[in-house]
Structure 1
Amino acid sequence: MRTAMRCEPAWRSITGASSRERSASAGARKTLPATTRLTSVRLSASTTFEASSLTGASGSLVRLGELTVAHSLTNEVAVSVSGGAAYRSYQGIDLNELTYTGSATATYAITDMTDLQAEYSYEHFDSSRAGQDYDSHTIEAGVRFRR
């Protein structure tokens, strides 16, 4: 199972006070470092049950968690980093799998409708079965067109 999440950066100019400026003008309350409209932070977690084709396993319980931070450096350039973990426990057999993922993405907006994008991804897979562990490094580059 491969879960893909993408943060879409905002390409238009942003006006108005940042959340930090609004907090400062609202009084002396304490706030954490604020994200702005140019920065987004996404945290997701889920638990699902999935069917299995492995002999003796009725399915697997999958727990996922991912954190993504995206930031628009300029109106044309955006970057994002993400990291996550997934733990899969098979029901009916003694098999557990743990997957760690991480990625970094850079996007350059050539026009309002065309982007260049480059991404590096890393995946570490650890299984309770001997000889099934692996590390994967992937580099992707492409052009994205929007209407």
Structure 2
Amino acid sequence: MICLFFSDGRKIGPQPRRGRRRYFYHIAHGVDPHYLYPECVFDVGEVFAATLFAKNKNWKKASKAKGRKSLRSKVRLREVLVKWSHLDAGQATWETVECDLDHLETGLSTYSRLGEVPVDPCGRRLLPIHVRRWILQLTDAHFAHIAGL
């Protein structure tokens, strides 16, 4: 954990080392990151297989190579262009999420059992589970809207 400060000297508070790029981006643009939530989905990319994985920090060594191989072949991700609350549309970001809600729910137990989680193509860890779930619900609404046109 590290403590950060605004340019005027106000304390931001302790932040974990992981995920600080997104945090600093929001601070630089004057947005309190604790109040950001996905507002809508502008665009959805194609489904692709996850190729990069990171170890969980609380993972204990075990011989689960077969399970890891099957996990790597089954994980499907997609890029979603998300507009965040309190930011204008020009600051929408591409976020990597699972391909659908069912895939997310079935993958969560597998991630924890095998000690690996997928990361996006740039090597960043994925957003927290509740945010990914929210984005997937917005993605479903986006698909329903497109189908209704």
Quick check: which one's strand share is greater? 1
Q: Structures share a fold, TM > 0.5?
A: no
Provide TM-score, normalisation by structure 2.
Answer: 0.23
- TM-score normalized by the length of structure 1: 0.23
Bigger relative CO (Cα 8 Å, ≥ 6 apart): 2
